[in-house]
Amino acid sequence: MDFIPSELQAYAESHTELEPKLLQQLTKETWQKVLQPRMLSGHFQGRLLSLISKLIQPTSVLEIGTYTGYSALSLAEGLSKEGKIHTVDRNEELYDLQRKYFDISGFGPQIIQYTGDARGIIPKMNMQFDLIFMDADKKSYPTYFELIIDKLKPGGLLLSDNVLWSGKVIETLHPKDEDTKALLAYNKVLKDDPRLETVLLPIRDGLTLSRKR
């Protein structure tokens, strides 16, 4: 998932603010108890999400793909006083673990969990968002985009994770690789949509920042 030498990656992380102890604890428990722990945002990306959120100070955040809650807690650090995060995940088995850490963090009342298919949940959300973080099933990214673009406020920020997909986006496309096919289409949409200003950052597995005009 990393595209620079491990020594440079370690140097970058060592010169980045330390993650809070609670997130260190969440990381440890995720690796101990949950399948596919590499799905965690992790220290480096988590600090970036936190800093972006602090710069925006959003009152409304939508997260598509909660996993164990690391990215939601990172984004919560920048919430305005009355801010809320609406986070959606289809894995009901992770709900209690997420809630445990949300409540311990002190951000519990500001984080609203939804369990189920985001494609059915998002259309029912009658609200606008300052910041949207997309980190769910890749083949649905183009569909999610159509659902969220009109819910993103002008000047709002869309963050899209895993857009380099371990480098598969520049490899020969396998006919049955639906995830990479969807990401190629999604990345093109972000680049070409006149409503957005987009920069794709080669951080970890690729993180795109798109600002709505």
For the stretch 81-107, pLDDT in tens is 999 999 999 999 999 999 999 999 999
Percent of the chain with pLDDT over 90: 94
Cα gap 201→60, rounded to integer Å: 24
Q: Decide if pLDDT at 2 tops 70.
A: no
| Helix, strand counts (H, E) of the chain | 8, 7
What's the predicted TM-score (pTM) here? Answer: 0.97
Query: How far is 2 from 149, CA to CA, in rounded Å?
Result: 29
Distance CA(86)–CA(71), nearest Å, equals 12
Comparing C-alpha atoms, which of 47, 39, 6, 1 is closest to residue 23?
Answer: 47
